[in-house]
Amino acid sequence: MYAWAPVTVPTLPPSVDVPDRLSLFDTGEGTIVPVGPADGAARMYVCGITPYDATHLGHANTYVAFDLVNRVWRDLGLEVDYTQNVTDVDDPLLERAAATGQEWEELAEDQTELFRSDMEDLRVLPPDNYIGAVESISCVIKLIEELVPGGLVYQVDDPDHPDWYFRTPEAPGFGAVSHLDEARMIDVFRDNGGDPDRPGKKHPLDALVWRFARPGEPSWTSSLGAGRPGWHIECTAISLRYLGPDFDVQGGGSDLVFPHHEMCAAEAVAATGQPMASAFVHSGMVGLHGEKMSKSKGNLELVSRLRHSGADPMAIRLALLDHHYRSDWEWTPDQLDRATERLQHWRAAAHRDTAPAADRAIAEMRRALRSDLDAPAALRAVDEWADSVAVEDGDPEAALRMVTAVDALLGIRL
Task: State the residues that interact with ligand 5CA by CB under 6 A.
Answer: 47-50, 58-59, 61-62, 85, 87, 235, 252-253, 255-256, 283, 285-286, 292-294
Cα four-point dihedral sign 131, 136, 140, 146: negative
Three-state secondary-structure class, residue 81? strand
Q: 3 or 361, CB closer to ligand 5CA?
A: 3
Query: 234, 189 in Cβ contact below 8 A?
Result: no
What's at 270, amino acid-wise?
A
- Nearest-Å Rg of the Cα atoms of the chain is 22
Interaction of residue 140 with Zn ion, rule CB under 5 A: no
Q: DSSP string of 287-313?
A: EETTEE--TTTT---BHHHHHHTT--H
What is the C-alpha separation between 284 and 302, in angstroms, rounded? Answer: 17
Q: What is the DSSP letter of 215?
A: T
Q: 263 or 286, CB closer to ligand 5CA?
A: 286
Q: 44 or 49, CB closer to ligand 5CA?
A: 49
Q: Which of 46, 140, 143, 235 binds Zn ion (CB under 5 A)?
A: 235
CB of 372 to ligand 5CA, least distance (A): 17
What is the C-alpha separation between 343 and 347, in angstroms, rounded? Answer: 6
Q: What is the DSSP letter of 9?
A: -
The residue sitting closest to Zn ion, measured at its beta carbon, is 47
What is the C-alpha separation between 186 and 244, in angstroms, rounded? Answer: 29
Q: Which of 47, 122, 361, 414 binds Zn ion (CB under 5 A)?
A: 47
Q: What are phi and psi of 3, to 5 degrees?
A: -95, -120
Three-state secondary-structure class, residue 405? helix
CB of 253 to ligand 5CA, least distance (A): 2
Name which of ligand 5CA, Zn ion, none residue 285 binds, using a CB cut-off of 5 to 8 Å depending on partner kind: ligand 5CA
Q: 8 or 100, CB closer to ligand 5CA?
A: 100
CB of 328 to ligand 5CA, least distance (A): 8
Q: DSSP string of 342-388?
A: HHHHHHHHHTSSSB---HHHHHHHHHHHHBT--HHHHHHHHHHHHHH
Name which of Zn ion, ligand 5CA, none residue 49 binds, using a CB cut-off of 5 to 8 Å depending on partner kind: ligand 5CA
Q: 85 or 335, CB closer to Zn ion?
A: 85
Q: 48 or 227, CB closer to ligand 5CA?
A: 48
Q: 75 or 90, CB closer to ligand 5CA?
A: 90
Q: 272 or 294, CB closer to ligand 5CA?
A: 294
Q: 325 or 346, CB closer to ligand 5CA?
A: 325
Closest to 381 (Cα-Cα) out of 341, 329, 342, 340:
342
CB of 62 to ligand 5CA, least distance (A): 4
Name which of ligand 5CA, Zn ion, none residue 119 binds, using a CB cut-off of 5 to 8 Å depending on partner kind: none
CB of 248 to ligand 5CA, least distance (A): 17
For Zn ion (CB under 5 A), the number of binding residues is 2
Q: 21 or 326, CB closer to ligand 5CA?
A: 326
Name which of ligand 5CA, Zn ion, none residue 255 binds, using a CB cut-off of 5 to 8 Å depending on partner kind: ligand 5CA
Closest to 372 (Cα-Cα) out of 124, 12, 21:
21
Name which of ligand 5CA, Zn ion, none residue 292 binds, using a CB cut-off of 5 to 8 Å depending on partner kind: ligand 5CA
What is the C-alpha separation between 122 and 63, in angstroms, rounded? Answer: 10
CB of 149 to ligand 5CA, least distance (A): 27
CB of 29 to Zn ion, least distance (A): 20
Name which of Zn ion, ligand 5CA, none residue 364 binds, using a CB cut-off of 5 to 8 Å depending on partner kind: none
What is the C-alpha separation between 247 and 43, in angstroms, rounded? Answer: 5
- Give Dmax over CA atoms of the chain in angstroms: 79
CB of 151 to ligand 5CA, least distance (A): 27
CB of 90 to Zn ion, least distance (A): 10
CB of 71 to ligand 5CA, least distance (A): 18
Q: What are phi and psi of 192, to 5 degrees?
A: -130, 50
Query: 22, 73 in Cβ contact below 8 A?
Result: yes
Q: DSSP string of 94-112?
A: HHHHHHHT--HHHHHHHHH
Which residues lie near Zn ion (CB under 5 A)?
A: 47, 235
